[in-house]
Amino acid sequence: MPPKTKKRSSVAAGLAPAADRKAGDSSCSSRATKQGRRLKAEGGSAGAEAGGSTLVSCGDELVRISRRLHDSLKDRKWKGTSKQPVSCSYNVLEYASETNEAYTQRYGGGRPFGRAFVVGMNPGPWGMVQTGVPFGEVGFVRDWLKVQGAVGRPSKEHTKRPVHGFDCQRSEVSGTRLWGFFERRFGTADAWGDKMFVYNFCPLTFMSSSGGNITPDKLTPAEREVIDEACGEALAEMISALKPSVVVAVGNFAGSKCHEAVKASGLNAAGKGEVEVVVVNHPSPASPTGVKWEKATCLNELVLNSSKSKEIDRFLQ
């Protein structure tokens, strides 16, 4: 079982040492160069930006955004409401930063601008809580995304929601459906990564005394304000850094946060084209339409705000 820890992993203590950064930058630069050559050969611009670059810079800036978010939420106590009191909460950026940052570096940086940015709500108990990767069902994170790293444990752990990391035997249905769809559609994770990046609005998960899930929208108004401010700022910064052509919100909660973040990012006001927000149904088993993810062949089949659905699958060609 992974060691219990109250501190972030050494990877998260600050940016990597210079020698490690140099090696990482070289790898990212090499991948970016190859992708740039491929895009040029294909005649695509993938959303060229100032300076003529068509690629998102190496993922260090995305990691910095996550670390600032971690610091904003660090050591906060969450009580919940009288009807739904919070017994325990986890911050995956605290104990699973190594895998979260490995995923962010690999699939966030060194990729084309103009991708689809997929945004969920917060970690599920058998997915991101275990692996540090959004919707991170263990099998898909390990075998398809090829993300590895040490996962610690929360400082306070709920007995009914233990963190076993990659040794977890439970399956995250939402993650199986979401990543299963992407695997069917793209084949390889690198092909998917050139078109999309998945992120969660909030890195926290909240539990009742029985271990039941308490979603962020069920917290007190004051607690929601803290989360909306910190996570909303981070989401806007992610959008500004990635410069997506469309933001795909998974569920209506994420949809409302994405609309606010796109506006705050300033991209639409900069005369660089409209960044659309498209809302798709959630793959959760709690959603009556979640099962659609298992047979869908394109994202248009999952879109809720259908008025904008014509645009979304151009990112999947």
**Cα distance between residue 265 and residue 257, in whole Å:** 12
265 token code pair: 């990012």
In angstroms, rounded to a whole number, what is the distance separating the alpha carbons of residues 292 and 282? Answer: 9
3-state SS of the chain: helix, strand, coil percent to 5?
50, 10, 40
Between CA 266 and CA 268 the distance in angstroms is: 6
Q: What's at 30, amino acid-wise? A: S
CA separation for the pair 141, 147 (Å, rounded): 6
Q: What is the pLDDT of residues 254-291, one digit of tens each?
A: 999 999 999 999 887 655 567 889 999 999 999 999 99
As a whole number, mean pLDDT of residues 238-266 equals: 94
> Distance between CA atoms of 233 and 266, rounded to whole angstroms?
12
- pTM attached to this predicted model: 0.83
Structural domains for the chain? 10-315 (3.40.470.10)
pLDDT reading at 308 higher than 90:
no
Residues whose CB is less than 8 angstroms from the CB of residue 120 and which lie 6 or more positions away in sequence, other chains included: 134, 135, 198, 199, 200, 201, 250, 251, 254, 282
Q: What is the pLDDT of residues 112-126, one digit of tens each?
A: 888 999 999 999 999
Q: Which residue has the higher pLDDT, 79 or 31?
A: 79
